[in-house]
Structure 1
Amino acid sequence: MVIEETGPTEWTFRAEVGVGPWPGPWPEDPRYDPELLEHGDRRNVVDAYRYWRREAIVADLDRRRHPFHVAIENFQHDHNIGTVVRTANAFAAAAVHIVGRRRWNRRGAMVTDRYQHLHHHPDVASFAAFAEAEGLPVVAVDNTHGARPVQDVALPRECVLLFGQEGSGLSEQAQRVASRVVSIAQFGSTRSINAGVAAGIVMHAWISRHANPADAW
Structure 2
Amino acid sequence: MRNLEPALTSLANPRVKGWAKLSERKNREKEGRFKLEGVHLVAEALASGWPLECVVFEEGMGVPEELLAYADNQPSSSSSPSWIPVSPDIIAKCVETETPQPVFAVAYRKPVDREALFAEGAGPVVVLDGVQDPGNVGTIVRSAAASGASAVVLGKGTADLYNAKTLRSTMGTLFYLPVLEADLTELLPEARRHGKTLYGTSLQATKSCYEVELGRDAWLLFGNEGSGLSPKVEELVDRPIIIPMTGKAESLNVAMAATVLLFEAQRQRMALER
**TM band (smaller chain):** 0.5 to 0.7
Which residue in 1 is equivalent to 2:208?
149
User: Cα gap change, 1:111/1:213 in structure 2, threshold over 3 Å: closer, same or farther?
Assistant: farther
Aligned to 2:70: 36
CA change 1:130–1:107 in 2 (3 A) is farther
Do the aligned residues in 2 keep the contact of 1:70 with 1:88 (CA within 8 Å)?
yes
Residues 214 and 81 of structure 1: CA distance in aligned 2, closer, same or farther (over 3 Å): same
Counterpart position of 2:149: 93
Q: Which residue of the other structure, out of 167, 174, 179, is the alignment partner of 1:113?
A: 174
Task: Give the aligned partner of residue 61 of structure 2.
Answer: none
Superimposed CA distance per residue, residues 92-111 of structure 1 (whole angstroms, 9 cap, x where no aligned partner): 21111111136243321112
2:259 alignment partner, SS class: helix
Q: Secondary structure at the match of 1:157?
A: coil
Normalised to the residue count of structure 2, the TM-score between the two structures is 0.50
> Structure 1 residues 210, 188: CA separation in 2 closer, same or farther (over 3 Å shift)?
same
Partner of 2:4: none
How far the C-alpha of 1:212 sits from its partner, in A, is: 5.8
Query: 3-state DSSP class of the match of 2:266?
Result: helix
Q: CA deviation at 1:148?
A: 1.6
Mapped to 2, the partners of 1:151 and 1:81 lie a distance apart of 24
The 1:74/1:131 distance shift into structure 2, 3 A limit, reads: same
Paired amino acid for 1:168: S
1:132 maps to amino acid:
R
Paired with 2:134 and 2:251, the residues of 1 have a C-alpha distance of: 14
Moved more, 81-90 or 71-80: 71-80
Structure 2 gaps of 5+ residues are 1-39, 41-66, 74-115
TM normalised by structure 1 equals 0.62
Q: Shift of residue 71 of structure 1?
A: 1.0
SS of equivalent residue, structure 1 residue 193: coil
TM-superposed CA distance for 1:164, in Å, is: 1.8
1:1-217 equivalences under 5 Å are 35-36=69-70, 38=72, 66-74=122-130, 76-101=132-157, 103-104=160-161, 105-122=166-183, 124-142=184-202, 144-155=203-214, 157-211=216-270
Give 1:197's aligned amino acid: M
For 1:84, the aligned partner's letter is I
- The alignment-based identity, stated in percent, is 24
Structure 1 letter corresponding to 2:155:
V
Write the distance in 2 (CA, Å) between the matches of 1:195 and 1:112: 19
Q: Distance in 2 between matches of 1:81 and 1:202?
A: 15
Q: Per the alignment, in what secondary structure is the counterpart of residue 200 of structure 2? A: strand
- Distance apart, 1:66 and its partner CA: 4.2
Cross-structure match for 1:8 = none
Give the C-alpha shift of residue 172 in structure 1. Answer: 2.8
**TM-aligned CA deviation for residue 118 of structure 1:** 0.7
